[in-house]
Amino acid sequence: MGMTLVRSLFLIIHQKMSTSSSAILTPVGVRGMNVLDRAKFLRNIKIPVLKVADEKLSKITPICKQYFLKLENFKPVQSVSGEKLKCIHMNPEKIGAWTDLSEIDRKSLKEHSVNEDNFIMKDIELSYENWSYGTIFKAVLPENEDIVSGFTQVGHIIHLNLKDHLLQYRPLIGQVLVNKIKSCRTVVNKSSTIDNTYRNFNMEVIAGEENFLVTVKENLCNFTFDFSKVYWNSRLGQEHERILNFLKPGDVLFDVFCGVGPFAIPAVKKKCKVYANDLNPDSFKWLNHNAKTNKLNMALFKSYNLDGKDFILTVFKEYITNYCLGKEKLEKGAKIHVTMNLPAIAVEFLKCYKGLIEDEELLEKFDCEIIVYVYCFAAGTDVLAVAKSMVIDNIGCDISDNIIDIFDVRNVSPKKEMIRVGFKLGKEVIFSAKDCVSEPPKKKLCVDN
Ligand SMILES: C[S@@+](CC[C@H](N)C(=O)[O-])C[C@H]1O[C@@H](n2cnc3c(N)ncnc32)[C@H](O)[C@@H]1O
Ligand SMILES: *[C@@H]1O[C@H](CO)[C@@H](O)[C@H](O)[C@H]1NC(C)=O
Ligand SMILES: *[C@@H]1O[C@H](CO)[C@@H](O)[C@H](O)[C@H]1NC(C)=O
Ligand SMILES: *[C@@H]1O[C@H](CO)[C@@H](O)[C@H](O)[C@H]1NC(C)=O
């Protein structure tokens, strides 16, 4: 299985094209096709060509570059067999005659003895292979509508949210993308919202192989997973990197909702001790797989398949308790980090920290620095303030002074931002009177685009 990079592609094409001269370079008679018929894309077109002697090419190319004919599997500059000549193919939508070249360019060409005699019109036959997917979609799909917007590639899978009016074109759209995008072998139509517990997409294969196993690279690590069963968002790569930059060798990371390991795996590579947890058995499986394939030092890596609440109440609590008892040691200056990336409900899990440890004798021994990075979705005019109050309300103490940073990670939908709140988790919370630990966090179903 070849390694493919994560790619994000965005394409919004408005169908406002006229059928005048600007539309020479387009297949004709294919509007409304919903199952790909390659033969219908053949078209003979007259192309302006400039014939120049081989030795002049390097001088002529810079002048003509702006007029080059750009198509797929097509070289704008071609040799002529048996002659010491090059043919420079130009875009017929820009150039119909020698005089369509700008006056300045014609003058420059003449300085190299290239003039109207070198200019010819030549018939060429273009086929399905020579049109880009954008051109094909424009020619086939309904006019005056948004066509295919915002599709994303994860490994060999392209996923798109198709608008209802395009449903009938699924086979064609999928096939064209598989054909035209070299690294794409599967196209899926996924629901635009993720509202299930494991945050994976509901997907329907519209073209290519029924194979959801992908490998992507992020922050110098390889991640393999079944994209239909686990959460992965290629738009989070930078945020993962920002957190990784906060980590130093010797630090400890608790990743409460770790997925397949985009924080956890590279953190181990940075020589942090990592406790990674996810409730989804498939995430857990691929997390462990990725730990192996990235050749992690297993002494630094522990994985769990627990509810986040149980992870905090057992694994995290035990570590802090043992630290206070001197059974866990931290290098001088080393910090403990806790990542909580489940934006729809993570703040509710903050309740677990309040009164986490009851044994007051441990209070005096508590001297470690714990930084929590909790993610949430916020809407409104002041998203940062909204996020801050969500954190404070859920943790149940005013920790305003302990907030380190409130950061707008990304825009999720027109009115929704994903926010990260970083704060120091101190003894006043961990050792405060216990009152909410027994309440399990409510599982609201929220929406993550
Ligand atoms: C938004 S994803 C984040 C995954 C990963 N940290 C990342 O950045 O790509 C949230 C993860 O939380 C997991 N999850 C959902 N509910 C959970 C719970 N109650 N306890 C632990 N994990 C949970 C999901 O399976 C999913 O992998
Ligand atoms: C169009 O693409 C095909 C397939 O790669 C290629 O063989 C052909 O030469 C191209 N057409 C032209 C006119 O170059
Ligand atoms: C695919 O797209 C159509 C049209 O928007 C939608 O009705 C259908 O539910 C989608 N399939 C999936 C699996 O989301
Ligand atoms: C990731 O995969 C590529 C290609 O398979 C491989 O060359 C590279 O060594 C891998 N990297 C790690 C960290 O395993």
Q: Would you write out the chain's pLDDT as a tens digit for each of its 449 residues? A: 333 333 444 444 444 443 444 578 999 999 999 899 999 999 999 999 999 999 999 999 999 999 999 999 999 999 998 999 999 999 999 999 999 999 999 999 999 999 999 999 999 999 999 999 999 999 999 886 666 666 789 999 999 888 888 889 999 999 999 999 999 999 998 876 777 888 887 888 999 999 999 999 999 999 999 999 999 999 999 999 999 999 999 999 999 999 999 999 999 999 999 999 999 999 999 999 999 999 999 999 999 999 999 999 999 999 999 999 999 999 999 999 999 999 999 999 999 999 999 998 999 999 999 999 999 999 999 999 999 999 999 999 899 999 999 999 999 988 899 999 999 999 999 999 755 444 444 544 444 43
| Distance (Å, whole) CA 405 – CA 106 | 59
179 lines ligand 2 (CB under 6 A): no
Element (H, E) at 64: helix 57-64
User: What is residue 167's predicted lDDT score, i.e. its pLDDT?
Assistant: 87
Closest to 280 in 3D by CA, of 263, 260, 262, 310: 260
Identify whether the C-beta of residue 305 lies closer than 8 Å to the C-beta of residue 288: no
Q: What is 3-23+133-211's CATH number?
A: 3.30.300.110
Cβ-contact 235, 257 below 8 angstroms: no
Q: Ligand nearest 266 Cα, by number?
A: 4
Judging by beta carbons within 10 Å of its beta carbon (0-12, 13-18, 19+), is residue 263 exposed, middle or buried?
A: buried
SS3 assignment, position 285: helix
Q: Residue 204: nearest ligand to its CA? A: 3
- Alpha-carbon separation of residue 221 from 93, 234, 236 (angstroms): 46, 14, 14
> Number of C-alpha atoms within 13 angstroms, CB side, residue 221?
27
Of ligand 2's listed atoms, the one at least distance from the Cα of 129 is 2
Atom of ligand 3 nearest to the CA of 190: 14
* Sheet strands (E) in 119-220: 119-126, 151-154, 157-160, 186-190, 203-208, 213-218
CATH class of 232-430: alpha beta
Instruction: Say what the pLDDT of residue 201 is.
Output: 79
Burial classification of residue 238, based on how many CB atoms lie within 10 Å of its CB (0-12 exposed, 13-18 middle, 19 or more buried)? exposed
- How far away, in angstroms, is 222 Cα from ligand 4 center? 6
283 within ligand 1 shell (Cβ under 6 A): yes
Starting from the CA of residue 71, give the closest ligand: 2
424 Cα: distance to centroid of ligand 1 (angstroms): 22
Burial of 182 (0-12, 13-18, 19+ CB in 10 A): exposed
pTM: 0.84
Q: How far is CA 320 from CA 20, 49, 151, 275, 404, in A?
A: 72, 75, 44, 13, 21
Edge-to-edge strand ranges of the sheet holding 252-255: 301-304, 273-277, 252-255, 336-340, 370-378, 416-424, 403-413
Tokens, residue 20: 């005048």
Tokens of 32: 């409304």
Query: What pLDDT does residue 192 have?
Result: 66
Backbone phi, then psi, for 441, in 5-degree steps? Answer: -60, 140
Return the pLDDT at 431: 95
CA of 196: how far to CAs of 14, 161, 248, 284, 448, in Å? 33, 17, 34, 17, 10
* Phi-psi label, residue 250: left if phi above 0, alpha if psi -120 to 50, beta otherwise: left
What top-level class would CATH report for the domain 43-126? alpha beta
CA 342/CA 106 separation, integer angstroms = 61
> What pLDDT does 367 receive?
95
Distance CA 352, CA 341 (A): 16
Q: Is the CB of 110 under 6 A from ligand 2?
A: no
Residue 160 Cα, ligand 3 centroid: separation in angstroms? 10
Residue 257 Cβ inside 6 Å of ligand 1? The answer reads: yes
Alpha carbon distances (Å) from 429 to 187, 354, 358, 432: 48, 5, 11, 5
Tell how far the Cα of 285 is from the centroid of ligand 4, in angstroms.
19
- Residue 127 CB less than 6 A away from ligand 2: yes
Nearest CA to ligand 2 atom 11: 126
Q: Kindly give the number of the ligand 2 atom that is closest to the alpha carbon of 74.
A: 14
Question: 236 in ligand 1 pocket by Cβ < 6 Å?
Answer: yes
How many angstroms separate the alpha carbon of residue 416 from the centre of ligand 3? 23
Q: Is the CB of 258 under 6 A from ligand 1?
A: yes
How far apart are the C-alpha atoms of 170 and 128, rounded to whole Å? 18
Ligand 1 proximity of 200 Cβ (cutoff 6 Å): no
For ligand 1, whether the C-beta of 239 sits within 6 Å is no
User: How many angstroms separate the alpha carbon of residue 169 from the centre of ligand 3?
Assistant: 12
Q: 130: Cβ below 6 Å to ligand 2? A: yes
Number of the ligand 2 atom closest to the C-alpha atom of 127: 1
CA of residue 130 to ligand 2 center, whole Å: 6
Taking the C-alpha atoms of residue 384 and residue 417, their distance in angstroms, rounded to an integer, is 9
**Binding-site residues, ligand 4, Cβ < 6 A:** 3, 221-222, 293-294
Among the bound ligands, the one closest to the CA of 124: 2
- Cβ-contact 148, 174 below 8 angstroms: no
Ligand 2 neighbour 45 (Cβ under 6 A): no
Ligand 1 pocket check for 231: Cβ under 6 Å: yes
Tokens encoding 273: 């001790």
* Residue ranges covered by each domain of the chain: 3-23+133-211, 43-126, 232-430
Q: Are 353 and 432 in contact (CB under 8 A)?
A: no
